[in-house]
Amino acid sequence: MSAFVELTKMRISIMVVLTFVVAAIVSQPQFIDPWIMLWGTVGCLLICFSGNAMNMYVERKTDSLMPRTAGRPLPADKLTSIEVLIFGAATFVASTAIFWNLVNWQTAVCAAVNWIVYVIVYTPLKRKTWFNTEIGAVAGALPVIMGALATTETVPLVAWAFFGVLVFWQFPHFMAIAWKYRHEYKAGGLQMLTVVDPSGKRAGFKSVVTCVLLILCSLIPVVEVRTIFHVILLVTISLIVGAPYLKASIGFNADPNDITAKKLMRSSLLYLPLYMAGLLIVYLT
């Protein structure tokens, strides 16, 4: 059973579900249907489980070449390929059925598109081009659109802004990871930016640019919040939580090394929950 739990990448799945839930709430703050939220959350969790399992299936040979992933269920022979495929297919079907029948068809379609982008496009692309990160960032942010569709059947401005924040948040986050594991990625044949450019200069520059874009996206909802107080609150939250992330990105760009990459990673992990909490405060008060 523990091997199947490993397949789900539970911590990542929970974070993805949180972005779905926050997007669903801020897109329709006046009325939140508890049943839509419940089944939407279950559906999102299951589609994450499926995508992560299928990702491990596609990358089973690559995973065996890297110490950080060699202990995963397939390379470590904890599960067979057939077991992983069945798990991935079953959770995909269950998620699609829940979204289609208990939420709405728009969310079901968006979830399926998300799965396709992540499993069929992004995962194989990691062995072919460093541009895989751009595709992966879109896949990682699509649950925000799913959350908005679940509660509104449309995508309001705040959801698009949150989508932009999540897309750009992933670049500094992934650049820090790619730096830390650059030697393993090279051994595994993965074309990360830090493998293509071992100096880290391109990764550092990209981190700074995308962090600036992240802060700009976080400010977009000022055009629709209700009062001057909420405008000031949103701007304050966006700048306060964004500044340390930008500072860490600038530090990594100035001198790419293990220490600055670790600081950037820590800043990325702090930013997202703080920004989501701030967004909820702005839209629910």
Kindly state the tokens that stand for 194.
Answer: 């830090």
* Residues 121 and 210 occupy one common structural domain: no
* Residues 34 and 170 occupy one common structural domain: no
Of 123, 155, 187, which marks where a domain is finished? 155
* Residues 2 and 89 occupy one common structural domain: yes
* Residues 263 and 128 occupy one common structural domain: no
* Residues 146 and 175 occupy one common structural domain: no
Domain limits at 140? 1-155
Residue 1 has pLDDT above 80, yes or no: no
Measure the CA angle with vertex 187, ends 183 and 189; round to 5°: 115
* Residues 142 and 187 occupy one common structural domain: no
* Residues 129 and 162 occupy one common structural domain: no
* Residues 49 and 127 occupy one common structural domain: yes
* Mean residue pLDDT across the chain: 96
Per-residue pLDDT tens digits for 243-268: 999 999 999 999 999 999 999 999 99
Q: Could you tell me the CATH number of the domain that includes residue 45?
A: 1.10.357.140
**Residue-level pLDDT at 143:** 98
Nearest to 109 by CA among 118, 100, 98: 100
Of 155, 175, 204, which marks where a domain is finished? 155
pTM: 0.95
Q: Count CB atoms within 10 A of the CB of residue 196.
A: 14
C-alpha 141/C-alpha 143 separation (Å) is: 6
Report the number of distinct structural domains present in the chain.
Answer: 2
